[in-house]
Amino acid sequence: MTDAFGILESLQKIGVKSENLGSSTGLNWLDSGESYLSSFSPVDGKLIAKVQLASSETYEAIISQAYVAFEKWRLVPAPQRGEIVREIGNALREVKADLGKLVSYEMGKSYQEGLGEVQEMIDICDFAVGLSRQLYGLTMHSERPGHRMYEQWHPLGIVGIISAFNFPVAVWSWNAALAWVCGDVCIWKPSEKAPLSAIACQQIVGKIFAKHGLPEGISNLIIGDYKIGELISHDSRVPLVSATGSTRMGKLVGKAVGERLGRSLLELGGNNAIIITENADLDMAIRGALFGAVGTAGQRCTTTRRLIIQDKVYEEVKSRLAAAYSKLVIGNPLDEKNHVGPLIDQDAVKNYLSAIERVKAEGGKPVVEGGVLSGQDFESGCYVKPAIYEAENHFEIVQHETFAPILYLIRYKTLAEAIALQNGVPQGLSSAIMTTNMREAEAFLSAAGSDCGIANVNIGTSGAEIGGAFGGEKETGGGRESGSDAWKAYMRRQTNTINYSTALPLAQGIKFDI
């Protein structure tokens, strides 16, 4: 295991030891055999550690333990489950700096973004604690005398969580914290591109569950490739599968879960746009577009990929953006003076270069040219230049999500045209409009406006807070995680009717007398 940038020290502070690198049902590490996954950092290309891959036998052992744990955990009162999650949030506070550093080094996002991701975990724990006392059902009036109707919510069982590399810990916590207070247990398959961050989280939460004498299997981690995801998706013992990733992956998960009539919660690709009107505060618009386009090196599902700009301000926006891009500092994300870190791996770099070739082939014009950086500071080969190209919305490459810092500029004349362009892609995750005109803002938020799950005014497309339900429409999958009433996805609804009379009337006035 490397000690680059003090990562070994950070792991030790969190409680991860070299012999605890693999799948587990809490603090209990499961020996899976001789198959290993090597985790390399995109920051410097160095090997961080080797992690043992799970076998199908490991999967069966975890599923069995999870079901046993569920039978006990579901009977713990929800406020007591919330107290456990509160302690998990406090434990995360204690290791925020070290876990944030690990996330940054393993994934490549800036240290500030790594800290922000851990803060999201803390925030969702706080949200879940309050939620544990608010799992409300409704009371309805019965049409039958002497009868009472109400509904209540019960835990589903085992929740399968398949997470992506770009948010290696936060999105898992959105699911897990809510699932736990709802009385579910979780099986987490993290991205094989960021396994150590997942192992660290498993150690943190496992200690809290063990401290309270709770059974192994409430929080489960299984390290593996797509085959483990297939096992989870096809397994009828897993009533809900929450999957974050590409649209292609989501279609496979949705099909597998749907064929067994299970539930899937899908958070898939985005192709997000900011509309900049002639009434925009351009200082705000440039700042919002800048972070939206280059934050996490363009590897967010909410990354701004298209700027739809009104003709009257198009040239000024283009010029100011180019000037802002010239000031970006690219380099080691653990150095806080740098704005942009690396892409996750060489495959991501190839996709970035391919997208640039394709947009040029379709007629796109460079505003800020892209390229791969080389030299001593970029020896991993994963550092690229954030790029801007003038394009048309109908270009095939513009219609696709490229997980890289490539921004397309698109002109428009009328607001109706701008909204049609914004909606004119297969994805429907996040969107924004920059305007000081109330009518433009309200039109964008209306039923005839943005068709995305997230629609913002005078802020960018990324940086969602945990209080709102997160998710999108169309090829983004339709799922909702995190805040609002997203908790209902992790529970089953039951309608109850109680007859406290001495008669037995039937509904709808049906007579059945003998």
CA-to-CA distance for 403 and 418, rounded, in angstroms? 23
> Residue 493 and residue 74: Cα distance in Å, rounded?
15
Sheet containing 240-244: give its strands across: 219-221, 185-189, 158-162, 240-244, 263-267
Q: Is 201 a catalytic residue?
A: no
Quote the CA–CA distance of 508 and 417 in Å, as a whole number: 51
Rounded CA separation 179/10 (Å): 28
* Helix, strand, coil % over all residues of the chain, rounded to 5: 40, 20, 40
CA distance 406 to 75: 50
Q: Which of 120, 216, 267, 401 is catalytic?
A: 267
Helical segments of 182-243, H only: 195-211, 226-234
106 catalytic per annotation: no
CB count in 10 Å sphere of residue 77: 11
DSSP secondary structure of 154-191: EE-SEEEEE--SSSTTHHHHHHHHHHHHTT-EEEEE--
- The H helix count followed by the E strand count for the chain is 14, 21
Residue 160 pairs with which residues in a beta bridge?
A: 187, 241
What count of Cα atoms within 13 Å lies in the side-chain half-sphere of residue 69?
A: 26
Residue 377 CA to residue 373 CA, distance in Å, equals: 9
- What is the spatial distance between Cα 275 and Cα 410, in angstroms, rounded to a whole number? 9
Compute the Cα dihedral for 439, 442, 448, 454 and give only its sign.
Answer: positive
Tell the residue number behind the tokens 């925009």, with chain if given: 280
Of 125, 182, 186, 301, the active-site residue reads 301
Instruction: Let me know the angle formed at the C-alpha of 367 by 362 and 369, rounded to the nearest 5 degrees.
Output: 80
Q: 285 CB contacts (<8 Å, ≥6 apart)?
A: 274, 276, 317, 434
Question: Are 491 and 153 contacting, i.e. CB atoms less than 8 angstroms apart?
Answer: yes
Helix (H, G, I), strand (E, B) or coil at 434: strand
List Cβ neighbours of 429 (8 Å cut-off, separation of 6 or more). Answer: 269, 270, 271, 272, 301, 302, 452, 453, 454, 471, 472, 476
Catalytically active residues are 267, 301
